[in-house]
Amino acid sequence: MRIAFIGDIVGRPGRKIIQHNLENLIQKHNIDFVIANGENASHGFGLTIKNADELFKYGINLITGGNHSWDKKKDMLVLLETKDVLRPDNYPVGIQGSGVKVVQIGYEKLAVVNLMGLFCMPQVLNPFTHAVELVEKLKIDGIKHIFIDFHAEATAEKRVMMKLLQGKVSAICGTHTHIGTDDAEISDGTYYVTDIGMTGCRDNVIGMESDVPIKKALTGLGGHFNVPNNCKAILQIAIIDIDEDGQASNAFKLKLYDNKAEVLSQTIIN
């Protein structure tokens, strides 16, 4: 199977560049299933029902979350019950929704897992022990194709997750920092990248207008971050081939810019 993962979608610019490019990418690269992190898709904070439906219409099949999943709480409660939307699975017991979804793709089943790190994050259960138990259960259930969106601040936590689950899952893609890293690899059949990078405005500060972050840096006084209405946008997407044994066999990442025809890609061969 061939799956794709889109990094943190930030506001309208992120949704717009997906609208203009995703359908063509799916057809051109024969993608079977598209996952995207959407916790910043609505005005930069959270996800509304309207915007979730918009993203599904554009070709995204499943949306993952993170520390901003609950910023539009009323909408999120509905989405978790009615749509293919996840929140980190290691939130404390009793929180509505799930961070695991098993989908049928052709003759195979794919488990999509959403986890969140510890450093600078809301209170959650230990993601590492949680991941080990969860992967073991999925394996017992006969599921070999496992994709993990690990939403974490610390690069070390993401790397620990890779070494912990290397050879046991198909792919681990880090999200949250909005800055793409260049350490993508396939090791023992597991595709890994510390952070896939955001999809949204690339000429500001992690998708937000620059004035408030600059003011905070200079004075220590914060403010509300806003997503620009006009900007230069980027779409970042990883495309991963997974064989019948659940091992990543090949992968490449594409970066599309809305102001030029240039497309950057890097192919990884195991």
Contact 2, 239 (CB under 8 A): yes
Contact 21, 52 (CB under 8 A): no
Sequence-ordered list of residues with C-beta below 8 angstroms from that of 11, at least 6 positions apart, any chain: 40, 41, 42, 43, 44, 200, 201, 207, 227
Q: Which residue has the higher pLDDT, 263 or 121?
A: 121
- The per-residue pLDDT for 263 is 52
The first and second tokens of residue 248, run together, are 């990543």
**Domain boundaries defined on the chain:** 2-269
Q: Which tens digits make up the pLDDT trace of 9-23?
A: 999 999 999 999 999
- The per-residue pLDDT for 211 is 87
- The per-residue pLDDT for 266 is 57
- What percent of the chain stands above pLDDT 90? 85
Is 68 catalytic? The answer is: yes
Angle, CA 149 vertex, CA 190 and CA 204 arms, to 5°: 115
- The per-residue pLDDT for 265 is 54
The top-level CATH class assigned to 2-269 is alpha beta
| Distance, CA of 124 to CA of 131 (rounded, Å) | 13
Q: Which tens digits make up the pLDDT trace of 18-63?
A: 999 999 999 999 999 999 999 999 999 999 999 999 999 999 999 9
The first and second tokens of residue 45, run together, are 């904070």
Burial 200-211 (b: 16+ CB within 10 A, else e): bbbebebbbbee
- The per-residue pLDDT for 8 is 96
Question: Which one of the listed residues 20, 43, 68, 176 is annotated catalytic?
Answer: 68
Tell me: pLDDT of 268 over 50. yes
* Closest residue by Cα to residue 209 from 43, 60, 16: 43
- What percent of the chain stands above pLDDT 70? 96
